[in-house]
Amino acid sequence: MPLPTISMALGMEASTQELDATSSIQAGVLGAIIWAERAAAANSDTVQRQVLHQETVAKVPAALDMADVSTAVASDTASPPLSPGSASCDLLSCPWHDAMSYFLTSSDLGRVSSSCNTFRTELTVEAPRKESEASRRLLVVPVVELRNDTAEAELDRVSLSHVHVLRVWSRLSLVAAAQAAQNTGKEAFRSLDKFSLKGCPLNGFDVKELLVPMLASTKRLQLLNMEKCQLVDAPVQQLCASGMLNRVETLNLRFNQIGDRGATAIAQCKAFQTMKWVNLKVNRVSDVGALALAAALRHNKSMTLLNLRKQFPALTDKSAKGFAEMLQTNSTLQQLRLRRNRISDAGAVMLATAAAERLPRLCSEIPFCDDVRLELDLEENRIGDAGALALLRTANAAPQRARVEILLSGNAATRDSLFLAVAESGESLDASDSRVIFATKPEYDL
If one counts every other C-beta atom within 10 angstroms of the C-beta of residue 313, the result is 11
423: Cβ–Cβ under 8 A, 6 or more apart, which residues? none
Q: What's residue 101's pLDDT?
A: 58
Q: What's residue 13's pLDDT?
A: 43
Residues of the chain below pLDDT 70: 1-106, 108-122, 129-134, 444-446
Question: How many residues comprise the chain?
Answer: 446
Q: What's residue 149's pLDDT?
A: 85
Q: What's residue 158's pLDDT?
A: 86
Q: What's residue 135's pLDDT?
A: 73
Rounded CA-CA distance 402/370 in Å is 10
Rounded CA-CA distance 13/8 in Å is 9
Q: What's residue 10's pLDDT?
A: 39
Q: What's residue 59's pLDDT?
A: 43
3-state secondary structure the chain: CCHHHHHHHHHHHHCCCCCCHHHHHHHHHHHHHHHHHHHHHHHCCHHHHHHHHHHHHHHCCCCCCHHHCCCCCCCCCCCCCCCCCCCCCHHHHCCHHHHHHCCCCHHHHHHHHCCCHHHHHHHEEECCCCCCCCCCEEECCCEEEECCCCHHHHHHHECHHHCCEEEECCHHHHHHHHHHHHHHCCCCCCCCCEEEECCCCCCHHHHHHHHHHHCCCCCCEEEEECCCCCCCHHHHHHHHHHCHHHHEEEEECCCCCCCHHHHHHHHHCHHHHCCCEEECCCCCCCHHHHHHHHHHHCCCCCCCEEECCCCCCCCCHHHHHHHHHHHCCCCCCCEEECCCCCCCHHHHHHHHHHHHHHHHHHHHHCCCCCCCEEEEECCCCCCCHHHHHHHHHHHHHCCCCCEEEEECCCCCCCHHHHHHHHHHHCCCCCCCCCCEECCCCCCCCC
CATH 1.20.1250.20 is the classification of domain 314-446? no
Q: What's residue 353's pLDDT?
A: 97
Phi-psi sector, 371: left (phi>0), alpha (psi -120 to 50), beta: beta
Rounded CA-CA distance 120/122 in Å is 6
Query: What is the rounded (10 degree) CA torsion for 263, 269, 275, 281?
Result: -10
Q: What's residue 121's pLDDT?
A: 65
pTM of the model: 0.77
Q: What's residue 336's pLDDT?
A: 97
Instruction: Please report the sign of the dihedral spanned by the C-alpha atoms of residue 248, residue 254, residue 257, residue 258.
Output: positive
